[in-house]
Structure 1
């Protein structure tokens, strides 16, 4: 619990309050609180919850991330107190953008809530992306032209579903993978994700499966855009016609 001890000592110093004042706020003796700061004892979960509420810092951050590395003002709190997103800032006060690698993108579905995993991601900075928390995600396939294999979408973290705007594109992190789609607000519960490539049919989104949402903030392409030939479009149109005819037969 050494990280935890260092964290609460650091937070207390930043607030400029005494050990006694915090102990009083948490309804405990000063000696008990000091034992946590000194690392001589570990707090039970109910005390962790009180400390999290008092310092307004996620429990994940308190026990797993060395917050001395970050400015408290540059931390984004996520819903349900499950994790925090430290906003890393470089020497020129530019946000450091974590990069989820193509090869390790499935690992993100497990590590997205693990501060150590996020800490070990490579990062970059772009001077025009300053306000908010950004992360770069790999894109594969041809459902969102002109982006294809080798492309990265830089997303800005979206805190609430209500902040999504119909017609805009987003990265959706679900238990099945990383999806880059256009969001369509249909009203009620029938929200839809749509590909810009009309070959792929829209489908309804199940919000229970969504882990994170990131709004399009920019893109990086590691390959030249490929010019699609008339033959390419003809083949896709043929499959589209076949698909529609099969659907008609099924509906009869």
Structure 2
């Protein structure tokens, strides 16, 4: 006895079809289909071919192999038409500044067509903020085996000039000026930022607010490796404490 009856019963279950609905598709009587499923009778070869072709299942498979639910989901035919089985969500598309776009971005950041042509990355981020992605291209924000390394991707939220004074934590920002695109940790100080790298040996610099064209507060990081999260958190806390000490010193 073949496995035809057991397989078509499983197909009906996957498709949520009644015996009558399934029988109507193939011009069968409900009682005849029930007999197939219960193994009381075998179908004609024409019926086997019709059902196998409809669901793109080989005749050998439908007769001799007990089909699994996972296999049935892979078959074409009417199974593909059941779009209710898949719930599609629209993720956020973010323009990404790649290695190749770095220099052009400095010149064309205000050009809408250029921004629209940047390589987009799609991520499950729910944010109504203006976002920009950036592929890290140097070791300036690395510290030993921690921090940001080339090929890591950071995503920043737009920071308006009106909010510069509200920046109190020494977080990492992507900064665009007329001459450079920088990824630095910033410290606010009287209408200017002190820019620092996490990598030892790189001198800090001063950047007046007036020279900043774009400022993106890094909110998300996608590492090209598995980072040491614990040590990264320690470094961030040390940077915060250093900033607090500096503010205290300036106030004395």
Q: TM-score, normalised by structure 2?
A: 0.48
Greater Rg, structure 1 or structure 2?
A: 2
Q: TM-score, normalised by structure 1?
A: 0.48
